[in-house]
Amino acid sequence: MINNNSTSRRDFVKGVGAGVLTIGASSFATSVMATKAKPDKLGIALVGLGNYATNQLAPALTVADNAYLAGIVTGTPAKANIWADKYALDDSHIYNYDNFDKIITDKGIDIVYVVLPNSMHKEFVIRAAKAGKHVITEKPMGLTAVECEEMIAACEKAGVQLSVGYRLQFEPNTLEIEKAAKELPLGPINYVRSEFSFTIGNPKQWRLKKELSGGGPIMDIGIYCIQAARYTTGLEPIAVRAVEYKTDYEKFSSVEETVMWQMEFPGGLYSNHTTSYSMKANELFVSYQKGNARLEPAYSYANVGGHIGERQLMPHQVNQQALQMDNFVECIRQNKTSKVSGKEGLQDMKIVDAIYKSIANGGKRVEV
Amino acid sequence: MINNNSTSRRDFVKGVGAGVLTIGASSFATSVMATKAKPDKLGIALVGLGNYATNQLAPALTVADNAYLAGIVTGTPAKANIWADKYALDDSHIYNYDNFDKIITDKGIDIVYVVLPNSMHKEFVIRAAKAGKHVITEKPMGLTAVECEEMIAACEKAGVQLSVGYRLQFEPNTLEIEKAAKELPLGPINYVRSEFSFTIGNPKQWRLKKELSGGGPIMDIGIYCIQAARYTTGLEPIAVRAVEYKTDYEKFSSVEETVMWQMEFPGGLYSNHTTSYSMKANELFVSYQKGNARLEPAYSYANVGGHIGERQLMPHQVNQQALQMDNFVECIRQNKTSKVSGKEGLQDMKIVDAIYKSIANGGKRVEV
């Protein structure tokens, strides 16, 4: 499955790995960005080597303080080769979906990070938990709230921590918005509006297949707006109303194209949202009694910035995913529940469930 | 009704008016901002001397090129005195609501501008038309589309022009957005979002009394968002969905507090909107295929600005109301229909009617 050249190279890197560690990662060849043995860090195995794992999580693990890329789980042998070379991974930490459960005996892997299509989150979170590994899953946590409950139960039973990949809850400007929900420097919040949309490319991708994604933009990017309305207000919505709009019935034959929805919060606070695979928007707007706040972009991997009232929130040059994974390791070490635990993911999926119920009922009010 | 002092002062100003005109308005005392005889301009009578007439329209008429304040119609004698002094108005051009119809013989008045509470627009537009005067009415044009049709018919029958006070359709940056609908420099439009909300003060004002206002923020400020979605796209909505939200049932016992609504345009384009008397927002956002545009503030009397794609739209220092009234005079002179004619107001009220119907039906889709 792995060609000789790349195997040799990997073996070579493995051979010098321990020595190199003593002088730091910077002495590695540029194509080799990590190594297997990092006694001061926890080892993470990424499950699913798609775009997000490749271009965000793996690079983040080269700069994280508390975690490093210790293994991979992939169904594509060619990818395994490339990754093994690039990140100096030992064969013993490379799995496929069939032999994944053997990870139970792999002492190099502390955390499994599930980056698979949505429909596979539940299965692999539960399998990881049964293998005794702490788990991070990408959002949406599952396809439904019921799935999330099963995942939480499995992790509790196994005594492992479960977290959702809500990277923005560690982004400094997002934290300012979150802090404003508690300190209310501009008075009470009376409105939240948020939109996250992009123009989707390849019509054959898994996001457009309901059996893999579980749904359209609401599951994928709309969930950021749900998160945002919650951390912006510090409140949980009590009801939603949602409508689906479609313009391209062929491309979006399986999932929604655009969803617009509103959420009602306790005490008479309402939010308004749009998410779509056919437009571009990336924004969080908050109306406080004495002024407004805005983040734009609000949800990107970099450059999240804006203002709270007159105060500018200049973008911070941070690696959101590194901060998120480092925090999870801290939680594991301190036996503390993550702020983005499974319960956080479950709450969002309860809201998504209500949104789908409202869509199915022509936009009627549905309690969460 | 008018005390001796102010009458005397007004008479004095009248006496010198003709002479002063030859050397220009700047030689007037600062408290006297206009005079009655301006042969090169059309004379406008303001009907209703509330905040908008006092602080926007009357000052605009001191800087307009084609129109000047020639008369007033008010139910408050004390206001008549103050205005007569300030704007050097002759008694013969001052009316109350009872004797208003005598304006038919007043050759000094070419245009009647109705700035009354919404419920009185229809009556005074029709009375003005019957008096042979061209008419401008503030928005909303009427309480319903049916009212607007009656107003249009009355003006057509009388052979006078009818216009709605849509000042923004003459604001330079708004015109850039309108131009982009035709020229599509950033490709087709795939989304419009707009919000206009403010925190309403005095709970006893007419805006909060349905018998005077006809409704809440959708009639008052939400209509700007309807206008904006139309001029931003150059399209007419085919259907709407709307929901009303309330938090203060006492203050908003008569009209809505917050309305969120969506509009569907031909060819699969959707817009999303919020208007409220309990929050602050003032924004127009457009997603084009190759970029976004934003105006913020989008609807203020001054400082409308933002960007289209990378191009900044710096605020223009213009008097929107002066531009609007000047344009109406041009239309009258050239016997040309105004871009903000009664039909424009009627179209918005058809949409407002549909919004109210949707609200009454729990947010169901209602065709316009």
DSSP per-residue letters across A31-43: T----S--TTSEE
Identify whether the C-beta of residue B184 lies closer than 8 Å to the C-beta of residue B156: no
The pLDDT value given to residue A135: 98
If asked whether residues B268 and B155 sit together in one domain, one would say no
End-to-end CA distance of chain A: 49
pLDDT at residue A35 greater than cutoff 60: no
Cα(A17)–Cα(A29) distance, rounded to whole angstroms?
11
Domain ends where: B141, B167, B193? B167
Q: Flag if A191 and B197 touch (Cβ within 8 Å).
A: yes
Cα(B61)–Cα(B69) distance, rounded to whole angstroms?
6
Is there a domain that residue A77 lies in? Answer: yes
Q: Flag if B274 and A269 touch (Cβ within 8 Å).
A: no
Which residue bears the tokens 């730091």? A24
Mean pLDDT of the region B266-289: 95
If asked whether residues B290 and B354 sit together in one domain, one would say yes
Is there a domain that residue B330 lies in? Answer: no
Which residues, in sequence order, are CB contacts of A276 under 8 Å at separation 6+? Answer: A197, A217, A257, A258, A259, B190, B191
Q: How many CA atoms lie within 13 A of A151 on its CB side?
A: 34
Question: Measuring CA to CA, which residue among B293, B320, B322 is closest to residue B309?
Answer: B293
Cα(A73)–Cα(A48) distance, rounded to whole angstroms?
6
* Among chain A residues, CA nearest to B248: A268
Q: Flag if A364 and B362 touch (Cβ within 8 Å).
A: yes
Domain ends where: A113, A145, A166? A166
The nearest CA of chain A is from the CA of B267 a distance in Å of: 7
Cis (ω within 30 of 0) for the bond into B140?
yes
Q: Exactly one of A87, A95, A113, A224 is catalytic; which is it? A: A224
If asked whether residues B173 and B160 sit together in one domain, one would say no
Tokens coding B220 = 């008052």
End-to-end CA distance of chain B: 48
CB-nearest partner of A287 from B247, B260, B279: B279
Question: Measuring CA to CA, which residue among A166, A170, A130 is closest to residue A151?
Answer: A130
Tell me the pairing of strands B67-73 and A269-276: unpaired
Domain ends where: A115, A144, A166? A166
Residues from chain B contacting residue A198 (CB–CB below 8 Å): none
pLDDT at residue B19 greater than cutoff 80: no
pLDDT at residue B32 greater than cutoff 60: no
Question: Measuring CA to CA, which residue among A325, A328, A330 is closest to residue A61?
Answer: A325
Is there a domain that residue A297 lies in? Answer: yes
Number of Cβ pairs < 8 A linking chain A and chain B: 89
Mean pLDDT of the region A60-74: 97
The pLDDT value given to residue A12: 33
Which residues, in sequence order, are CB contacts of B361 under 8 Å at separation 6+? Answer: none
Residues making up chain A, counted from first to last: 368
Cis (ω within 30 of 0) for the bond into B39?
no
The nearest CA of chain B is from the CA of A310 a distance in Å of: 15
Cα(B298)–Cα(A303) distance, rounded to whole angstroms?
25
Q: Flag if A247 and B258 touch (Cβ within 8 Å).
A: no
Q: Flag if A287 and B281 touch (Cβ within 8 Å).
A: yes
If asked whether residues A210 and A250 sit together in one domain, one would say yes
Cα(B41)–Cα(B21) distance, rounded to whole angstroms?
12
The pLDDT value given to residue A37: 54
Is there a domain that residue B161 lies in? Answer: yes
Mean pLDDT of the region B97-104: 98
Instruction: Name the residues of B annotated as catalytic.
Output: 139, 224
In percent, the amount of chain A with pLDDT more than 70 equals: 89
Is there a domain that residue B281 lies in? Answer: yes
Q: Flag if A279 and B191 touch (Cβ within 8 Å).
A: yes
Q: Flag if B287 and A268 touch (Cβ within 8 Å).
A: no
The pLDDT value given to residue B87: 96
If asked whether residues A306 and A206 sit together in one domain, one would say yes
- Using 50, 70 and 90 to split pLDDT, how confident is the model at B268? confident
Residues from chain A contacting residue B362 (CB–CB below 8 Å): 364-365
pLDDT (tens digit per residue) in B227-257: 999 999 999 999 999 999 999 999 999 999 9
Mean pLDDT of the region A223-249: 96
The nearest CA of chain B is from the CA of A294 a distance in Å of: 11
Which of B195, B233, B262 is the best mutation test for A, with the most CBs of A within 10 A?
Answer: B262
The model's pTM is 0.87
The pLDDT value given to residue A211: 96
Chain A residues within 8 A (CB-CB) of chain B? 190-191, 193, 195, 197, 199, 241, 243, 245-248, 258, 260, 262, 264, 267-270, 272, 274, 276, 278-281, 283, 285, 287, 289, 291-292, 362-365
The pLDDT value given to residue B7: 34
Is there a domain that residue A333 lies in? Answer: no
Please give the tally of structural domains in chain A: 2
What residue numbers bound the domain in which A209 lies?
A: 168-316+342-367
Identify whether the C-beta of residue B275 lies closer than 8 Å to the C-beta of residue B218: yes
The nearest CA of chain A is from the CA of B60 a distance in Å of: 29
If asked whether residues B105 and B218 sit together in one domain, one would say no
If asked whether residues B156 and B257 sit together in one domain, one would say no
Is there a domain that residue A335 lies in? Answer: no
Identify whether the C-beta of residue B95 lies closer than 8 Å to the C-beta of residue B73: yes
Q: What is the CA radius of gyration of chain A?
A: 21
Mean pLDDT of the region B189-195: 96
Determine which of A160-164, A188-192, B6-10, B303-307 has the lowest per-residue pLDDT on average.
Answer: B6-10
The pLDDT value given to residue A6: 37
Q: Flag if A279 and B260 touch (Cβ within 8 Å).
A: no
- Using 50, 70 and 90 to split pLDDT, how confident is the model at A38? low
If asked whether residues B268 and B158 sit together in one domain, one would say no
Mean pLDDT of the region B290-294: 95
Identify whether the C-beta of residue A165 lies closer than 8 Å to the C-beta of residue A278: no
The pLDDT value given to residue A16: 33
- Read off the CATH number of the domain in which B304 is found: 3.30.360.10
CB-nearest partner of B243 from A199, A241, A258: A241
Residues from chain B contacting residue A239 (CB–CB below 8 Å): none
If asked whether residues A178 and A80 sit together in one domain, one would say no
- Using 50, 70 and 90 to split pLDDT, how confident is the model at B24? very low
Whether ipTM > 0.90 holds is no
If asked whether residues A97 and A190 sit together in one domain, one would say no
Residues from chain B contacting residue A287 (CB–CB below 8 Å): 197, 279-281
CB-nearest partner of A262 from B193, B248, B260: B260
Is there a domain that residue A347 lies in? Answer: yes
- Read off the CATH number of the domain in which A162 is found: 3.40.50.720
If asked whether residues A220 and A353 sit together in one domain, one would say yes
What's the whole-number average pLDDT of chain A? 90
Q: Flag if A243 and B260 touch (Cβ within 8 Å).
A: no
pLDDT (tens digit per residue) in B38-87: 668 999 999 999 999 999 999 999 999 999 999 999 999 999 999 999 99
Cα(A113)–Cα(A121) distance, rounded to whole angstroms?
10
The pLDDT value given to residue A205: 94
By three-state DSSP, how is residue B308 classified?
strand
pLDDT (tens digit per residue) in B112-160: 999 999 999 999 999 999 999 999 999 999 999 999 999 999 999 999 9
Determine which of A123-132, A193-202, B28-37, B101-110 has the lowest per-residue pLDDT on average.
Answer: B28-37
Q: CA separation (Å) from B306 to B154, B230, B299?
A: 40, 19, 12
Tokens coding B146 = 């049916």
If asked whether residues B108 and B236 sit together in one domain, one would say no
